[in-house]
Homo-oligomer: A and B are copies of this chain.
Amino acid sequence: MLIEVDFAGEVPIYTQVRDQIVIGIAAGLLKPGETLPSVRRLAADIGINVHTVNKAYSLLRDEGFLLMDRRSGAEIAPLMTEDPSFDELLSNKLIPVVAEAICRRMDIEDFCLTVRKTYSFIKRGGK
């Protein structure tokens, strides 16, 4: 799976890498047990520093998306189990976004429509 980085963007590089791997897992492009490139390898491929990749990997490990082993490297963790507490976390993330949509006079069902479109977009591997 190709990972690309926008150096000019506002989003930190390690966040971009983290997000793209999460998106890859969601799309099914990265399956549980699959190994990721080593931190040195990915850093060289993208053209960024090893520590930046390591930060992204460590974050993903802490979030439960990756398993890391000193010897064998990083691999995709088994499918996560449903987590009821994610609902509140999600809601907190959505509050400012939904509020802005309301201000921009977007109908809530149009919002949900965009959510479903985004869902399909991810599922089909990003267009």
Contacts and interface: CB of A to CB of B under 8 A. Distances in A.
Interface in A77-92: 79-83, 86-87, 90-91
State the number of copies, please: 2
Interface string A106-121: 1010011011111101
Contacts of A22: 96, 99-100, 103
A24 to B, nearest CB: 9
Interface SS, A side = helix
Number of chain A interface residues as a range:
35 or more
A44 to B, nearest CB: 25
Contact of A117 (B23, B91, B100, B101): B91
Nearest to A96: B19
7 contacts: A22-B96, A22-B103, A23-B99, A65-B103, A83-B104, A93-B97, A98-B119
